[in-house]
Structure formats: structure tokens, C-alpha cells
């Protein structure tokens, strides 16, 4: 079985401050993990993915995520938020052998000036 | 490359009407998926296909049917629309698994469906 929990439905930050979006997963074996971003009225875009190589994964637009097996976590971070980062973010898991992804319920990131 | 395209972009149906959503991809992907997105629910898988001529049920398949007659197209049908099917529908595609790793999915822009 596979599941993912995004711990915050909304996160508010000020422009220029760090961003932390939290994600915990459950997977029976060898997970692949992804973060997607969705801007208002748009489709989903891949930010980054972990597939059992380096545990610290760098993505687009300055985002990165660290895979921590002992904590079953895959939190998304960015050192300095930009107004254009305001969007909804989805943490996604796939378990080895499964043909499908399981999505978290999403975290809305709000960035204020 | 157009990537993943969906038609139509918007549609309003009356209860009981039928319609078909079309998804097309030009990346030669083997796998294709249909999701629905509702506020606070994330994306939920309706049906998927791991190859031409094959389909499988996802998490929320009731009230929907699908067909994959050509590798590049994946159709989602609603035979008798209900207000509970008001949602945004996304199609996605991906390469097949590389070893034991599922490749990332590429998403279309979505179809906003309202059933009154």
C-alpha cells in the first residue's frame, strides 16, 4: 500500500523568507517521491523527484527536498520565497511495482509582500 | 511538441446527459491516466491505462468509462452525468516503469465540468 500526508493545508510566508512544506509518506518498499506545483487555473508541473539516488534533490525555481527514510518524510524547502511561488503544492508517492501515483491533498502556499 | 492536450476546456451538462472527454499525447507514452480534482481532496485517480487496448480502475471509477483504442489517445466517458461529477478533470501520461521506478507524469491543462 502507499499513502501520503501533507501536514499543512495552508502555509503563509512573507516574500524573502524561507519556505517549508511538510510531507510524510507510507510505502511498503522503495518509494519514488515527487513534488508537483499547480498555479491557479493551470495544470500540474513537476518540481522535483526522488528515485533512490541522492537523498537531497534539487528542483526547479530554487526548490529542494530531502528524503529521510527513518522519518518517512520528504519535506519541500526554498531559502527565499518569491511572490510567483504562490500556488498549490502536491506531494506524490509511488511504490515499486505499482503503476499508479498517490497524491497528497495539497498545501496552498500564500506569499505576502 | 504539444505534450498532453485535453478537449474541451470547459463544459456544462444537465443531469443525465452524456459526454466524452478527449486526451491526446504526442510523447509516445505507454501509460495514461484520468484524475479528478476537487477542493481539499487532491487528485483522485479515476481510470488508467498501461498500454493500447488495456484499461484499469482507479480509486473513484464509478460513473465513468474509458477507452484506449490508440496509443496516443485516452477517452473518458460519462454516460449519465450527475451533479457529484462536477469537477476539474486532468489527464496525464508517462513512460512505463524504468526498472522498478515509475516515471513522472505529464499533465494536461484540465477540463472544467459543471453538471446542473
**What DSSP string describes A58-100?**
E-GGG-EEEEETTTTEEEEEESS--GGG-EEEEEEEEETT-SS
A104 touches chain B (CB under 8 A): yes
Using a CB–CB cutoff of 8 Å, tell me whether A60 touches chain B: no
A82 touches A72 (CB < 8 A) = no
Q: Are the Cβ atoms of A44 and B90 closer than 8 angstroms?
A: yes
Q: B114: helix, coil or strand?
A: strand
Band of pLDDT at residue A2, cut at 50, 70 and 90: confident
Considering only residues A14 and A32, tell me which one the structure prediction assigns the higher pLDDT. Answer: A14
How would residue A6 be classed by pLDDT, with cut points 50, 70 and 90?
very high
Nearest to A51 among B101, B106, B110 (CB): B101
Is there a contact between A103 and B44 if contact means CB atoms under 8 Å apart? yes
The pair phi, psi for residue A61, each rounded to 5°, is: 60, 30
B39 contact A CB<8A: no
Q: For testing the chain A interface, which of B7, B23, B43 should be mutated: the one with the most A CBs within 10 Å?
A: B43
Instruction: Note the Cα A109 to chain centre separation in Å.
Output: 11
pLDDT of the residue at B39: 87
In degrees rounded to 5, what are phi and psi of residue A112? -105, 150
Distance CA A47, CA A74 (A): 13
Specify which residues A93 forms β-bridges with.
Answer: A33, A102
Cβ within 8 Å, pair B100-A96:
yes
Q: What is the DSSP letter of A85?
A: G
Q: For chain A, what's the residue count?
A: 113
Residue B99's pLDDT is: 60
Nearest residue of chain A to residue B55 (CA atoms): A99
Q: What are the DSSP E strand ranges found in B1-116?
A: 4-7, 10-13, 19-25, 31-38, 42-51, 54-57, 64-67, 73-78, 87-94, 106-107, 111-115
In contact, B13 and B115? CB cutoff 8 Å: yes
Q: What is the pLDDT of residue A71?
A: 92
C-alpha grid cell, residue B61: 471509477
Chain B nearest CA to A9, separation (Å)? 8
Q: Is the dihedral of CA B16, B93, B42, A109 positive or negative?
A: negative
Overall average pLDDT of the A36-54 stretch: 89
The 10s digit of each residue's pLDDT in A74-98 is 999 999 999 999 999 999 998 766 7
Q: Is the bond preceding residue B72 a cis peptide, omega within 30 degrees? A: no
CB within 8 Å: B105 and A49: no
φ/ψ of B35, rounded to 5, equals: -125, 160
Separation of CA A17 from chain center? 18
Does A94 contact B at CB distance below 8 Å? yes
Mean pLDDT of B79-99: 89
Q: How far is A43 from chain B (nearest CA, A)?
A: 4
Q: Which residues of A touch B44 (CB under 8 A)?
A: 103
CA atoms within 13 Å, Cβ hemisphere of A112: 4
Indicate the helix (H) or strand (E) that contains A33: strand A31-38
Amino acid at each position: 500500500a502507499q499513502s501520503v500526508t501533507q501536514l499543512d493545508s495552508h502555509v503563509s510566508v512573507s516574500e524573502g523568507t524561507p519556505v517549508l512544506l511538510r510531507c510524510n509518506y507510507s510505502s511498503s518498499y522503495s518509494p519514488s517521491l515527487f513534488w508537483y506545483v499547480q498555479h491557479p487555473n493551470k495544470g500540474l508541473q513537476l518540481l522535483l523527484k526522488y528515485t533512490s539516488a541522492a537523498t537531497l534533490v534539487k528542483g526547479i525555481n530554487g526548490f529542494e527536498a530531502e528524503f529521510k527514510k527513518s522519518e518517512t518524510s520528504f519535506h519541500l524547502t526554498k531559502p527565499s520565497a518569491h511572490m510567483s511561488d504562490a500556488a498549490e503544492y502536491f506531494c506524490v508517492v509511488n511504490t515499486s511495482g505499482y503503476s499508479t501515483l498517490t497524491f497528497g491533498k495539497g498545501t496552498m502556499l500564500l506569499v505576502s509582500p | 511538441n504539444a505534450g498532453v492536450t485535453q478537449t474541451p476546456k470547459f463544459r456544462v451538462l444537465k443531469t443525465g446527459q452524456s459526454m466524452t472527454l478527449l486526451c491526446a499525447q504526442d510523447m509516445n507514452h505507454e501509460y495514461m491516466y484520468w484524475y479528478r480534482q476537487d477542493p481539499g481532496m487532491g487528485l483522485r485517480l479515476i481510470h488508467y491505462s498501461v498500454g493500447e487496448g488495456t484499461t484499469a480502475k482507479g480509486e473513484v471509477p464509478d460513473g465513468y468509462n474509458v477507452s484506449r483504442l490508440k496509443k496516443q489517445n485516452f477517452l473518458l466517458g460519462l454516460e449519465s452525468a450527475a451533479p457529484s461529477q462536477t469537477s476539474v478533470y486532468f489527464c496525464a501520461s508517462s513512460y512505463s516503469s524504468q526498472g522498478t521506478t515509475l516515471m513522472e507524469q505529464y499533465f494536461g491543462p484540465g477540463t472544467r465540468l459543471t453538471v446542473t
